[in-house]
Structure 1
Amino acid sequence: KLDWSQYINREDKALFLAYMNNTCIGQIRIIKDWNHFCYIENIATKKDYRGSGVGKLLLNKAEEWAKQRKLIGISLEAQDDNLGACRFYLKQGFILGGVDTLKQSYNPTIETTLYWYKLFK
């Protein structure tokens, strides 16, 4: 239900979609954040295509977009209950920059929000 039109032809945000045979199999939504990072609002790959390189391609596109805007890196949040995503970010060169044990207090199944960063050299 997201209005994707708000990401079209904008300098401060973008949406990239991955397609296979006219089917959307992945997406990444990014913004130029106040701290000069490209912040990933959301990245997702359809379950059947995870591990096939779609996520890496989407991250590469986000990195290209960020570098064109002279940002210093990429950042995102993940929760400690999503081990697969955390392993993926590590494999893609992200480092853990911090944790928050209160942000998800409303959700009894999540204990910690993890803040991931990939700094450009």
Structure 2
Amino acid sequence: MDIVIREFAVGDKMNGNDIDDSFTVDSTIVLSLSGRQIRYTVKECPRYTKRYSDEQFEEASDEDYSEYIDNPNQIVYLACAENQVVGRIVLKRNWNKYAYVEDIAVDKKYRRHGVGRKLIEQAKRWAINGGMPGIMLETQSNNVSACKFYESCGFVIGGFDLHLYQGIHKHSDEIAIFWYLIFDEHQ
């Protein structure tokens, strides 16, 4: 499968429902802290399907990314295969100088074909060219496959927030996990 990564451009429309971002939850990350090192194990849980385009993210489904065009501090890349958009990554220069991944999504049918890795590689190039020290992002403890993917790309856990998702669902047990890919000076 030929995957092309290109910058979001004038005339592009992005409907959040074009990409099936659903995933199966059948386990969760259990964190432990030892000094400054955060480790994790995986614990099974009852199986269900989660979709970011549902619930609280509904308003972002038809996001206008026009302000990202020709802006040195933020950018959107699209992953295209078979003449359709199959993935995207939305980046911005964060206040702490890291590149921050606001959103990354790969259509369910195109996962495990290198699309996500190509998007992360493009994000690395953008961040390095912008003089940023690395990339940061956040995902949930119940998105174990995403956590393992980020780890396989060289990201490490830099922190977590036990309460972030309780603003959406008061009794949520999801933990926000913050992942960092810190560049060495030779990249």
User: TM-score by structure 1 length?
Assistant: 0.96
Task: Tell me whether 1:44 sits opposite 2:87 in the alignment.
Answer: no
Alignment of 1:89-108 (within 5 A): 89-105=150-166, 106-107=168-169, 108=171
User: How big is the shift at 1:56?
Assistant: 0.4
Match of 1:85 among 112, 121, 146: 146
Task: Tell me whether 1:23 sits opposite 2:84 in the alignment.
Answer: yes
**Structure 1 runs not aligned, ≥5 long:** none
Greater C-alpha Rg: 2
Identity level (%):
36
| Deviation sequence 1:38-88 (CA, Å, 0-9, x none) | 000000000011111000000000110000110000000000111110010
SS at match of 2:116: helix
Structure 1 runs, 4 residues or longer, greater than 3 Å off: none
Match of 2:95 among 20, 34, 40: 34
Task: Tell me whether 1:119 sits opposite 2:182 in the alignment.
Answer: yes
User: How big is the shift at 1:22?
Assistant: 1.4
Query: Aligned AA for 2:95?
Result: W
* Aligned equivalents of 2:86, 2:146: Cα separation in 1: 16
Query: Aligned AA for 1:111?
Result: E
* Aligned equivalents of 1:63, 1:19: Cα separation in 2: 18
Q: 1:52 to 1:109 in 2, by over 3 A?
A: farther
**What is the CA RMSD across the aligned residues, in angstroms?**
0.9
Q: 1:7 to 1:110 in 2, by over 3 A?
A: farther
| Deviation sequence 1:10-44 (CA, Å, 0-9, x none) | 00000000111211000000000110100000000
* Aligned equivalents of 1:68, 1:53: Cα separation in 2: 23
User: How big is the shift at 1:111?
Assistant: 2.4
User: TM-score by structure 2 length?
Assistant: 0.63
